[in-house]
Amino acid sequence: MTRRASEAVLALGAAVLYSSFLFSYAVGSGQRADFVSQLELPGAPYAGWYRASDVLAGLALLTLAWLCRPAGGGRVAVRWACVMAALVGAGSLLDGSTSMDCAAGARGTCDLGDHSVLGLLHQLVVGHTLSGLVGFAAAGLGAACCARASWPAHTGWLRVHIVLAAGIGMCGLADVALLLANTDIGLVERVRIVLVSTWIASIPWTIRAVRRDAHTRPAPAARAGAVRS
């Protein structure tokens, strides 16, 4: 398998595995969980599958980030997009190997019923929740990096990544607001996960377009010579 095909397979595989919660709609089990991570709690139906999918998604993302890294100097925005993809992968690995700290029925280290600002801050900085938060933040930043790398030559990808970065960020803010208001965040969290999966799937295609543009663009010296002539 060529490197190009490997990147595409890894990206699509990681995207599907990252949104493995969709499996719950097919089997009719756990789709109404307040948090997607509750699907992975010990004893929950198909918990092993959800954990394995997170781990496999993380491994695929780490490999994808390595394959997509720019050779030599490369564009700074592309390098940072690959770093963010690796962080999302690391977060997914941790999500799959740990249990949610704040959940009904779990041995929580924080009080899920505390919807004050201090209570919410405590929820956001413990184990499993923190790894998920880092992963989502990295995905939003990664989409922004892809948008920067796409400018100005690839306006189509630029728009796609601006929408993804804004969507992931808005969902994150909505999560915080809904938690403070003691309102179900299930739908918003699931939309955010799908947006992250969409970004993951787009990574190799965006970076390939930027690489192709870099290879076909005349070198600075050549451009200068053409101007003088």
Q: What is the pLDDT of residues 107-165, one digit of tens each?
A: 555 666 666 777 677 666 677 778 888 999 999 999 999 999 999 999 999 999 999 99
Q: Going by C-beta distance under 8 Å and a sequence separation of 6 or more, which residues neighbour residue 30? A: 24, 38, 39, 44, 45, 46
Question: Over 54-79, what HEC string results?
Answer: HHHHHHHHHHHHHHHCCCCCCCHHHH
* Dihedral sign for Cα atoms in the order 56, 61, 62, 63: positive
Q: Could you tell me the residue range of the domain that residue 7 belongs to?
A: 3-211
Number of domains forming the structure of the chain: 1
Residue 180 resides in a domain: yes
Amino acid at 203: I
Going by C-alpha positions, the residue among 129, 113, 110, 105 that lies closest to residue 41 is: 105
Rounded CA separation 9/53 (Å): 15
Residue 220 resides in a domain: no
Residue 227 resides in a domain: no
Residue 59 resides in a domain: yes
The answer to whether the predicted template modeling score (pTM) of the entire model surpasses 0.75 is: yes
Amino acid at 44: A
Residue 104 resides in a domain: yes
Residue 228 resides in a domain: no
Average pLDDT of the residues in 199-209 = 96
Residue 222 resides in a domain: no
Residue 109 resides in a domain: yes
